[in-house]
């Protein structure tokens, strides 16, 4: 290129070698004709080894053909391209290592014709600095979004701002957040930017989009090779998507039970979503998912606190209501004892007594709902329970629901709390009714079964005999996704205000607390079958227990009750049963009476007393002075709601209010006879 006779040839060569950048000169065919030492060092070639090579040998194999076409275009229309105004490429060293370069181009007229000089600069450090700045920008954006989500009083409004922040940070035209609605198991778009309504409607609830999101990974390295296919998959799902978008990223919002939604980002440049941008999007998705989970937890906590407050209120109401029922029921029974043999009057009293029983049943259900009722399991007649239940459900579920009940007459008794068991079966029946809005068949069965533990399986039950209650319906059924969450507290597929999401979780808790197991089978469109495994009673006699008869006695009983009306009824009952009563309205008076009258044979006390001591504490102090004094407790306010550890007072008997005359007599005799035998 340089003539030896030219007086300035040596000067030009010196300048060429002294250039701060790597210099390569090629001819029209792309053959390297001249390089400086900097170029040889940059690309890792020995001195003189670059001359004669095609310039494409310094580029990755994947872009060589494209570069040949570009070079042909440039040589046909040569012009200067200064460094920085040129374009970035990837260079390849002799050992195969790639690195980013920036080039400037200039045509050079020589005696042999026009040649083309390229100044090449390694921008690895520049690129690393640029990436560091970009990552710092991403980090700052993450901090702002995270703080906004944490501090927001309205989480929905904070989420609505996220797509705009993402678009501004990544310099992209469109982004959207899509969340799974747990009630309808579909995607909804609560927030977006840059997407027309037609696209949003096409994406919302699209099962193909859910499948595409479900196949995505949260590992960016796994997703990068297939990233270019996302935009094409989106176009097939949503034809309304503009052709201006050349790249897309779809990132899952993770949760321990599966994705709660996804984050969509769209760009106008191909290959725009590199590792850094995908990592940023995944970080945004993670804090979004965390915010959503936190919101759900706060809602559940608030719901739980409301229920706890309701439980406290319910327990107090139940106490007062049961005292009122005890007074009403007691006086009705006293009238029955003294009334003349008049059928009309007897029918009137019996009608009033039935109303009292219904009130007492309602109170027990309130206590069960608020989880304030301590389980009192005993042998329950399975056959009679199912007969009563099917009759009641047949009247209450409506004409469009056909109720059938099957229970062989030889099915043994079940060992469970009868009120809780009935409430659990009713709850399942109501759920079945709601799953059959257009009517259907509800079946309730009971059978005995022997569970044999398989050592190879994760056994959920102890080996032995069980009573299996099954409630089946012909309703809408449940999807596997709903089945995965159906036992979780507060989970419901019903509309807002139509269900608390506590029904099945309460049934499950009752079954587990009773030493049993719950099994669910369901298919969409084919109905649901729920089985409750509960322990069989130790006594397998299926004879219906007789109604307890009034048990008379002659002993002296100390009645402690702060409600005067209830106390008067208890004293009247005791007198009709032959007992000699003493009475006290508080614990202090009772202790004084016990000290004065050592002949007292039984302490009959309410648990909730006015004053500083409960009935339990009174019993403990009384037994300090009279160690063998029998005690019978009564309450209209379940002791479990008072956070009292009943184990402190050993084994005792509790007579729930309102109680009948014969129930009081039977309870007193059991306590006196048992303690007398001891």
Q: Is the pLDDT of residue 544 over 70?
A: no
Q: Long-range contacts made by residues 624-629, C-beta under 8 angstroms, separation at least 24?
A: 625/594, 625/595, 626/594, 626/598, 628/675, 628/678, 629/594, 629/600, 629/602, 629/603
Least confident of 353-367, 455-469, 633-647: 633-647
Mean pLDDT of the chain: 79
Query: Is the alpha carbon torsion for 65, 68, 73, 74 positive or negative?
Result: positive
pLDDT (tens digit, 9 = 90+) per residue, 314-331? 666 777 778 888 888 888
Helices and strands in the chain: count of H runs, count of E runs:
19, 21
Tell me the C-alpha distance between 409 and 400, whole Å.
Answer: 28
The whole-number pLDDT of residue 635 equals 83
Q: What is the pLDDT of residue 453?
A: 62
The CA distance from 28 to 116, in Å, is: 8
Provide the CATH topology of domain 153-273: Beta-Lactamase (3.30.450)
What is the band of 370 on the pLDDT scale with cuts at 50, 70, 90?
low
Helices (H), 577-613: 587-596
Q: State the Cα–Cα distance between residues 179 and 191, nearest whole angstrom.
A: 10
Are residues 443 and 474 in contact, defined by beta-carbon separation less than 8 angstroms?
no
**Do the two domains 382-535 and 556-677 of this chain adopt the same fold?**
no
Residues of the chain above pLDDT 70, percent? 77
pLDDT at residue number 43:
93
Q: What's the pLDDT at 454?
A: 58
**C-beta of residue 519 within 8 angstroms of C-beta of residue 531:** yes
What is the pLDDT, as a whole number, of residue 206?
Answer: 67
CA gap 143, 111 in Å, rounded: 62
Q: Which residue has the higher pLDDT, 596 or 460?
A: 596
Query: What CATH number labels 9-122?
Result: 3.30.450.20
Q: Decide if 100 contacts 127 (C-beta within 8 A).
A: yes
- pTM > 0.75: yes or no: no
Instruction: Compute CA distances 290 → 245, 259, 283, 299, 365, whole Å.
Output: 30, 12, 11, 14, 37
Residue 218 reports pLDDT greater than 60:
no
Q: What is the mean pLDDT of residues 269-273?
A: 84
Closest-CA residue to 658 (of 339, 322, 371, 373): 322
What distance in Å separates the CA atoms of residue 579 and residue 631, rounded to the nearest whole number? 15
Q: Which CATH superfamily is domain 556-677 in?
A: Response regulator (3.40.50.2300)
Q: Is there a contact between 64 and 72 (Cβ–Cβ < 8 Å)?
A: no
Fold topology of 382-535: Heat Shock Protein 90 (3.30.565)
Residue 446 has pLDDT above 90, yes or no: yes
State the helix-helix crossing angle for 587-596 and 615-625, rounded to 10 degrees. 20
Least confident of 103-112, 307-316, 508-517: 307-316
- The whole-angstrom separation of Cα 89 and Cα 242 is 30
Instruction: Please answer whether residues 634 and 607 qualify as being in contact, where contact means their C-beta atoms are separated by less than 8 angstroms.
Output: yes
All structural domains of the chain with their residue ranges: 9-122, 153-273, 382-535, 556-677
pLDDT at 592: 93
């Amino acid at each position: 290129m340089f003539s030896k006779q030219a007086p300035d040839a040596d000067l030009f060569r010196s300048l060429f070698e002294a250039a701060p950048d790597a210099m390569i000169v090629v001819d029209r065919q792309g053959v390297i004709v001249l390089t400086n030492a900097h170029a040889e060092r940059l690309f890792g070639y020995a001195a003189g080894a670059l001359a004669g090579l095609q310039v494409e040998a310094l580029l990755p194999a994947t872009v060589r053909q494209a570069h040949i076409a570009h070079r042909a275009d440039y040589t046909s229309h040569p012009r200067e391209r200064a460094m920085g105004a040129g374009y970035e490429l990837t260079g390849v060293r002799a050992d195969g290592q790639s690195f980013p370069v920036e080039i400037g181009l200039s045509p050079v007229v020589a005696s042999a014709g026009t040649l083309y000089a390229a100044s090449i600069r390694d921008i690895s450090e520049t690129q690393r600095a640029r990436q560091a700045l970009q990552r710092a920008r991403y980090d700052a954006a993450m901090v702002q979004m995270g703080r906004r989500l944490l501090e927001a009083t309205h989480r929905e409004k904070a989420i609505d701002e996220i797509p705009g922040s993402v678009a501004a940070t990544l310099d992209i035209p469109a982004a959207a957040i899509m969340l799974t609605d747990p009630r309808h198991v579909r995607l909804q778009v609560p927030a977006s930017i840059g997407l027309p309504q037609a696209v949003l409607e096409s994406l919302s609830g699209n099962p193909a989009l859910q499948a595409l999101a479900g196949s995505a990974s949260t590992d960016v390295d796994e997703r990068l090779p297939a990233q270019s296919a996302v935009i094409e998959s989106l176009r097939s799902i949503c034809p309304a998507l503009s052709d201006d978008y050349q790249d897309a990223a779809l990132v899952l919002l993770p949760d321990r039970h599966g994705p709660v939604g996804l984050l969509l980002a769209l760009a106008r440049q191909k290959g725009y979503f590199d590792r850094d941008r995908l990592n940023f999007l995944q970080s945004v998705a993670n804090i979004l998912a965390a915010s959503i989970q936190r919101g759900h937890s706060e809602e559940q906590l608030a719901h739980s606190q409301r229920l706890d407050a309701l439980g406290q209120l319910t327990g107090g109401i139940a106490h007062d209501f049961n005292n009122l029922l005890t007074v009403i029921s007691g006086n009705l029974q006293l009238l029955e004892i003294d009334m003349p043999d008049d059928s009309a009057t007897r029918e009137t009293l019996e009608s009033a007594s039935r109303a009292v029983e219904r009130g007492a049943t309602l109170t027990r259900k309130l206590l069960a709902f608020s989880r304030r009722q301590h389980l009192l399991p005993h042998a329950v007649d399975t056959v009679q329970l199912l007969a009563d239940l099917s009759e009641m459900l047949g009247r209450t579920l409506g004409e469009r629901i056909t109720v059938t009940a099957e229970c062989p007459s030889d099915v043994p008794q079940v060992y469970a709390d009868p009120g809780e068991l009935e409430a659990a079966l009713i709850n399942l029946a109501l759920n079945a009714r709601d799953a059959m809005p257009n009517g259907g068949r509800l079946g309730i069965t009971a059978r005995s079964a022997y569970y044999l533990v398989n050592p190879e399986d994760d056994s959920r039950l102890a080996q032995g005999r069980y009573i299996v209650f099954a409630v089946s319906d012909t309703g809408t059924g449940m999807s596997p996704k709903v089945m995965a969450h159906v036992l979780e507290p507060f989970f419901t597929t019903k509309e807002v205000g139509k269900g608390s999401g506590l029904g099945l979780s309460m049934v499950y808790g009752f079954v587990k607390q009773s030493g049993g197991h719950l099994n669910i089978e369901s298919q969409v469109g084919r109905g649901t079958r729920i089985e409750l495994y509960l322990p069989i009673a130790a006594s397998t006699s299926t004879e219906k227990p007789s109604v307890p008869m009034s048990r008379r006695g002659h002993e002296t009983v100390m009645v402690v009750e702060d409600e005067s009306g209830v106390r008067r009824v208890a004293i009247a009952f005791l007198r009709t049963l032959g007992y000699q009563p003493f009475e006290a309205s508080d614990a202090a008076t009772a202790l004084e009476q016990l000290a004065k009258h050592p002949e007292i044979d039984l302490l009959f006390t309410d648990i909730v007393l006015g004053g500083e001591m409960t009935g339990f504490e009174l019993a403990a102090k009384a037994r300090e002075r009279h160690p063998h004094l029998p005690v019978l407790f009564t309450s209209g306010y379940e002791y479990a709601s008072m956070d009292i550890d009943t184990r402190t007072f050993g084994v005792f008997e509790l007579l729930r209010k309102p109680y009948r005359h014969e129930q009081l007599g039977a309870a007193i005799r059991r306590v006196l006879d048992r303690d007398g035998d001891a």
